[in-house]
């Protein structure tokens, strides 16, 4: 199993593909998991409600 100390370890850190780095990063995933639904559902949804016109 690979270790992640020393020069070999640092080299391996650099070799990790971007997608794996993303999936290995809980904080970024937490940010995405909160921001994306907040924008797509909550904020867009609130905008939909406030833009309903008043009856003529």
Partner 1 sequence: MAATIPHPHRVCPDTGFKIDLNAEKLIKWNAVTGVVVFLIGGLFGLGVALTRMPSVHLLDAELFYLALTAHGADVLVIFIIFFEMAILYFASTVLLQCRLPTPWLGWVAYALMVLGAAMANYTVLIGEASVMFTSYVPMKAHPLFYLGLILFAVGALLVCIHFFATLIVAKRERTYQGSIPLVTFGAMVAAIIAVYTIASGAIILVPTLLWSIGYINYIDPLMYKVVWWGLGHSSQQINVAAHISVWYAIAAILFGAKPLSEKVSRTAFLMYILFLQIASAHHLLVEPGISSEFKIWNTSYAMYLAVLGSMIHGLTVPGAIEAAQRKRGFNKGLFEWLRKAPWGNPVFSGMFLSLVGFGFLGGISGVTMGVEQINLIIHNTIYVPGHFHATVALGTTLAFMALSYWLVPTLWQKELFAPGLAKLQPYLFFGGMSGVALFQMGAGTLGVPRRHWDMTFADAAANTGITYKFQASASMLMDLNGLAALIGSIGALIWVLNMVGTLLLSPKKGTRPAPAAAPTGAGTIAQTGSHGTLGDVPGTFVIVMIFFACFALYYYVNWKYLGEIWLLK
Partner 2 sequence: MSIFPPEQRIWWKEPVERAEVLWVSIAFIWCLIMFLMMPYWHMTGNQNLANTAFRITPERYAAKAEEMVAKYKVREEGTNAVPVVHPPPGSDVYLIGRLWEWWPILELEKGKEYKLHLSSMDWLHGFSLQPTNINIQVHPGYDMAIRITPTTSGEHAIVCNEFCGIGHHAMLGKIYVK
**Which residues contribute to the site for partner 2 (CB under 8 A)?**
1-2, 4, 12, 15-17, 19-20, 23, 52-56
**10 binding partner 1? (CB under 8 A):** no
Subset of residues 15 to 54 that bind partner 1, contact rule: CB under 8 A: 19-20, 23-24, 26-27, 29-30, 32-34, 36-38, 40-42, 44-46, 48-49, 52
Dihedral in degrees, nearest 10, Cα atoms 8, 10, 11, 15: 130
Contact 44, 35 (CB under 8 A): no
Distance CA 56, CA 45 (A): 23
Q: Which residue has the tokens 């780095």?
A: 21
Which residues lie near partner 1 (CB under 8 A)?
1-5, 19-20, 23-24, 26-27, 29-30, 32-34, 36-38, 40-42, 44-46, 48-49, 52
């Amino acid at each position: 199993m690979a270790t992640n100390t020393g020069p070999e370890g640092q080299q391996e850190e650099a070799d990790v593909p971007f997608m794996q780095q993303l999936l290995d990063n809980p904080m970024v995933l937490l940010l995405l998991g909160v921001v994306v639904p907040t924008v797509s559902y909550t904020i867009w949804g609130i905008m939909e409600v406030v833009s309903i016109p008043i009856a003529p």
